[in-house]
Amino acid sequence: MLKFPDGFYWGCATSSHQVEGNNRNNQWWAWEQEGGNVRDGTTSGPACDHYNRFDDDFALAEELGHSAHRLSIEWSRIEPEEGRWDEKEVEHYRRVIESLHRHGLTPFVTLHHFTNPLWFEQQGGWTSPRAPDLIARYAGYMAKQLGEAVPFWLTINEPSVVPAACYLAGMHPPAKRDMGLAMQAARHILIAHGKMYQAVREAAPHDPQVGPVLNMIYVEPASDSEEDRQAAQLFDQYWNSYWLEGIRDGVVGPPAGGGEEAPGLKGTWDIIGLNNYSRSVIAAGPPPMGLRQVPPGPDAETSTMGWEVYPEGFYRVQARLKPYGKPVYITENGIGTDDDKQRQRYIVRHLRQVHRAISEGVDVRGYLHWSFQDNFEWAEGFRQKFGLIAMEEGTRNRLPRPSAYLFRDIARANAVSDELLGRWGE
Ligand code: GBH
């Protein structure tokens, strides 16, 4: 049996735009309305109506044995126009956080999860040199408003994904393919993280734990050739080292900088939030990056997103965090699948790797599964099913899947039993 440390947090992760519904004042909503941008033709629309149903959702999470919950605050609700704060919306999130506490769920609150207020996007979004100060002001305001009720603040979700998806792969708005803009965004996002950390620490008198949410990818070269190894190294530098070393040392390193110091950035993490789903196998390839991602082979297990299921990689990224000496919280891990048995197996096999990392000295303190319920999976739309809980069409009733009960049993026992290991653990 795999026993987890006392006080280990169990729960799920979500984000505002994916579950709340009617976030009409951000760049994603606008992009969805253009048509043709979301693969399955859906839009976020009313989403899961979590904006209205949050209390029922948290009651269900409590019933399902959770002790923590990660959500994000929608910046475009709080600051609908530059410099104007909407106190009604602040009040909404105050009630959300109160509800979490009432249901015994420790809040992990993300300040930015992919969505930008329209006014911010119209100024160039992350490519604008004003971006770090603008978002830091919002971060400080929010921390002040919610105060002691929030013990864990997370600054920016997956800083690596934002420049790549928005300015390189053209998969998130504004869907550009421009290396210069991508690197400008990467630079501003790293600096913004540091400023947000400082603003939250200053505004919150109760000493909250603050950190980034890093989407770390376990990177492997496609072969032993010098070209492939160099390409993998470059990919790893962008996805992992740039952020880890940047925050540890307070510098903007390659590929977005030359190692120059960013004042106030050094050491801006009390905790590290870690998101991980899969691995990437990288080979040398065409410009502009000189690399390409090798798709999983015919025998590999994959998800409906096409991502390879690779639990060993999840272990490796946790192990890589050990020298940084910070408490680690798994802030996302999960699978898009139409087969809930595949999800159950995924959970057990990935928890085995969390347990393994802990037993080797990585200070992992919680596991937040992505996601609580099926939701708006960005450019993929609602077609992708990441939830422990399905949503009934029409009524939006919550329908827990068997994986929700499997996760409940694990959370309640604070352990993965031998029986579950035997049934799902390969
Ligand atoms: C997370 O991102 C998100 O935080 C969450 O909102 C989402 O629902 C969940 O995972 C499931 O997808 O960046 O264009 O080069 C997932 C992270 C997305 C990171 C794809 C790597 C590679 C394509 N991954 N991305 S790109």
Q: Atom 11 (ligand 1): residue with closest C-alpha? A: 377
Q: Which member of 20, 74, 308, 332 is catalytic?
A: 332
Q: Given this model, what pLDDT does residue 212 score? A: 98
Say if CB 242 and CB 300 are below 8 A apart. Answer: no
Distance CA 77, CA 112 (A): 12
Q: What was the pLDDT predicted at 388?
A: 99
Q: Could you report the per-residue pLDDT of 167-188, keeping only the tens digit for each? A: 999 999 999 999 999 999 999 9
Q: What is the per-residue pLDDT across 67-77, written as a single tens digit (0 to 9) for each?
A: 999 999 999 99
pLDDT at 88: 98
The per-residue b/e assignment along 25-41, b for 16 or more CB within 10 angstroms, e otherwise, is bbbbbebbeeeebbeee
Question: Best of 332, 377, 383 to mutate for ligand 1, by most ligand atoms within 8 A of CB?
Answer: 332
| Rounded Cα gap, residues 357 and 320, in angstroms | 10
Q: 121 catalytic, yes or no?
A: no
Please count the CA atoms within 13 angstroms of the CA of 80 that sit on its side-chain side: 9
- E strands along 114-270, which residues? 152-157, 209-215, 218-221, 251-252, 260-261
Find residue 373's DSSP bridge partners.
Answer: 389
Residue 144 Cα to ligand 1 midpoint, Å, equals 30
Does residue 332 have an active-site annotation?
yes
The minimum-distance atom of ligand 1 relative to the CA of 172 is: 14
CA 422 to ligand 1 center in whole angstroms: 31
Structure tokens given for 212 = 């980034």
pLDDT score, position 291: 97
Measuring from atom 8 of ligand 1, which residue has the nearest CA? 377
- Vertex 163: Cα angle to 267 and 233 (nearest 5): 70
Beta strands 218-221 and 279-284 are parallel
Q: List residues near ligand 1 (CB under 6 A).
A: 15, 157-158, 161, 164-165, 169, 171, 215, 275, 332, 370, 377, 386
Q: What is the pLDDT of residue 36?
A: 97
Determine the pLDDT at residue 206: 87
Rounded to whole angstroms, the Cα distance separating 99 from 106 reads 10
* Distance of alpha carbon 252 from alpha carbon 188, whole angstroms: 10
Q: Is the pTM of this model over 0.95?
A: yes
3-state secondary structure of 340: helix
Check residue 183 and give its pLDDT.
Answer: 98
Which residues sit opposite 218 in a β-bridge? 279
| CATH number of the CATH domain containing 56 | 3.20.20.80
Q: What's the first-to-final CA gap in the chain, in angstroms?
A: 14
Q: How far apart are CA 77 and CA 21, in angstroms?
A: 12
318 close to 352: Cβ distance less than 8 angstroms: no
Q: Ligand 1, residue 169: give the atom nearest the CA.
A: 14
**Which stretches in the chain have pLDDT values below 70?**
none
Measured in Å, residue 20 CA sits from the centre of ligand 1 at: 19
Which domain range does residue 117 map to?
2-424
Pairwise CA distance, residues 26 & 79, whole Å: 11
Question: Among 385, 391, 384, 387, which Cα is nearest to 403's?
Answer: 387
- CA–centroid distance, 147 to ligand 1, in Å, is 30
- Residue 55 is predicted with a pLDDT of 99
Six-digit token string for 50: 């979590």
79: left (phi over 0), alpha (psi -120 to 50) or beta: beta
CB count in 10 Å sphere of residue 181: 19
pLDDT at 205: 80
Residue 254 is inside which H or E element, if any?
none
pLDDT for position 175: 98
Q: How far is the CA of 161 from the centre of ligand 1 (A)?
A: 7
Q: How many domains does the structure of the chain reveal? A: 1
Structure tokens belonging to residue 231: 């390409």
Cβ burial, residue 252 (10 Å; 0-12/13-18/19+): buried
Query: Whose CA is closest to atom 19 on ligand 1?
Result: 161
- Ligand 1 atom index nearest CA of 377: 8
Catalytic residue among 20, 74, 121, 158: 158
Given a contact cutoff of 8 angstroms between Cβ atoms, the answer to whether 398 and 373 are in contact is yes
